Amino acid sequence: MADSIALFEPDGTAFEGRGQPNGGTYWYASEFMAMLGYESYAAFEQAINRAIGTCTTLSIPVVENFQQVDVEGVRDYRLSRFACYLIAMNGDVRKPAVAAAQAYFATLAEAARQYMQASHDVERVQIRDEISERDKSLMSTAKKAGVGDFALFHNAGYRGMYNMHLGRLKAAKGVPEGRTLLDFMDKRELAGNLFRFTETEARLRSDQVYGQAPAETVAFQVGKQVRKIMIDSDCTPPERIPLTSDIKDVRKNLKQTAKEFTKLDKPAGKRKRLPPAE
């Protein structure tokens, strides 16, 4: 099938030509995979899974965008335009066709054009959601380890990673009053903190730590280790990593993109034309 399908072109001709009408428009994942230049379904499926994860995080119905179907005994997906967009955003940017797809989708709707200014934020949303889940698990483990003051325990981890307590760190980075620092971290800094949370919980379990002070020591030590890894990587201490866009705005833009892409594929007569790209 891949040999008969053109790679994704800057003007989206091959992509639009493969759209199937069905009350809206959908594309088969197997065909979209070929358009993006993937030869291995296993590699392409990683992008699909990340895209599905983004929908779940944003509370956008997965089944409306990723419909599993059986085509001649082979599992496939019927993808909405928004699903194709998310897959392209999570695709291998080293592939020229993936880059072409990202650029094309950015011409279709205002929200997408805004979002393309920081395409890595798709992953930010996913990692931020993972951190929220990991934090719940870490607090449960810390409670079993005898931690009573969770603020001090959390702060110990931040002190280890950033060489300063959380209050001072938020002031130094300019975090808005009443907001969490995590909502303004870039992808790399978020990933570093996710690793810190995960390893702290693992150490509490494996070392059978018990008591407030011993648990704080573990949180601090793990934070120091993550700090060293990040500095060794590019010589930049994590406290010097600048803030990026508000994750709330990222989520809002993604949801608006989903709405605008849905409008594009409404049947004739119901479609609301979007303003042309400038």
**What confidence tens digit (pLDDT) does each residue in 104-123 have?**
988 887 766 665 554 567 77
How far, in Å, CA of 247 to CA of 219, rounded? 26
**Residue 267 scores a pLDDT above 90:** no
Q: Which residues pair with 75 in a beta bridge?
A: 70
How far, in Å, CA of 52 to CA of 243, rounded? 27
Share of the chain above pLDDT 90, in %: 68
How far, in Å, CA of 231 to CA of 189, rounded? 12
Which has more pLDDT, 30 or 268?
30
Give residue-wise pLDDT tens across range 69-117: 988 888 899 999 999 999 998 889 899 999 999 989 888 877 666 655 5
Q: Which two tokens stand for residue 257?
A: 């993109």
Q: Find out whether 82 and 257 touch, Cβ atoms under 8 Å.
A: yes
Give residue-wise pLDDT tens across range 188-222: 999 999 999 999 999 999 999 999 999 999 999 99
**Residue 270 scores a pLDDT above 90:** no
Least Cα distance to 141 among 214, 191, 209, 221 occurs for: 209
| Domain ranges, ordered by start, for the chain | 2-105, 121-247
pLDDT given for residue 268 in this prediction? 56
**Arithmetic mean of pLDDT over the chain:** 89
Q: pTM of the prediction?
A: 0.75
Which has more pLDDT, 262 or 3?
262
Ranked by mean pLDDT, the top range of 19-23, 40-44, 207-211 is: 207-211
**Residue 137 scores a pLDDT above 70:** yes
- Annotate 154-219 with three-state secondary structure: HHHHHHHHHCCCHHHHHHHHCCCCCCCHHHHCCHHHHHHHHHHHHHHHHHHHHCCCCCHHHHHHHH
Distances 272 to 21, 88, 267, 269, 277 between C-alpha atoms, Å: 17, 24, 10, 8, 15
